[in-house]
Amino acid sequence: MALLGHEPPAGCQNVLVLNESDVLEVLDLLKGAGAAAWVDGGWGVDALVGETTRMHSDLDLVVLSDQLDVVRDALAGAGFTEVLRDRLPTALAVADGAGREIDLHPVLGSLREGGQQQLPGGERFHYPAPVTGTIGGRRVLCVDAATQVRCHLGYQATDKDRRDMERLRAGTGVELPPGYLPSP
């Protein structure tokens, strides 16, 4: 199965985009392989808000560490064979021939309880059990709003980060830290 065949939006040249159908194909692929995954990052924000709010060049997924080999094999079968960043056990980023990226965040745990992501230096980050959001009109598992906010702390926020967090606040009511509050 190749996740190819869609064109960049009008007026955009050489923009690598994962659209709603790509995301749902990847989730179906992993489910069919017997692997659990929940959506994080920009697509996770969109899932919580219930609509696609911007273009996405990557898909962030929380996956169970003990299923990482299954996830990698399934993605490789779909053309995601190029390893962009291998920071295991913390993260792994792969891309397909078109350059579209999937960032994997392995956790020790379960769908029912969530899990611990091992960070550099031995610290751990807890992802609670996934909640339900919507992508392309379909219910998907995703990271909850409070954890999305926690994932955006500890670094200099970009304009894209600020817009994502404002959309998340507007769509879910989650509280934002001072660095993400809208200017008066």
Q: Two tokens at 133?
A: 């959001």
- The partner residues of 70 in beta bridges, in order of sequence, read none
pLDDT reported for residue 184: 54
Q: In tens digits, what is the pLDDT along the chain, a chain of 184 residues?
A: 233 233 333 333 334 688 999 999 999 999 999 999 999 999 999 999 999 999 998 999 999 999 999 999 999 999 999 999 999 999 999 999 888 899 999 999 999 999 999 998 889 999 999 999 999 999 999 999 999 999 888 888 888 889 999 999 999 999 998 877 766 5
- Whether omega before 89 lies within 30 degrees of 0, making that bond cis, reads yes
pLDDT score, position 182: 63
Contact 135, 24 (CB under 8 A): yes
Q: What angle do CA 136, 26, 58 make, to 5 degrees?
A: 80
pLDDT for 19-59, tens place per residue? 999 999 999 999 999 999 999 999 999 999 999 999 998 99
**With contact defined as beta carbons under 8 Å apart, do 120 and 86 qualify?**
no
Instruction: Return d(Cα 146, Cα 163) in angstroms, integer.
Output: 16
Q: To which residue do tokens 């955009």 refer?
A: 12
pTM score: 0.88
What pLDDT score was predicted for residue 54?
A: 92
pLDDT for 2 equals 31
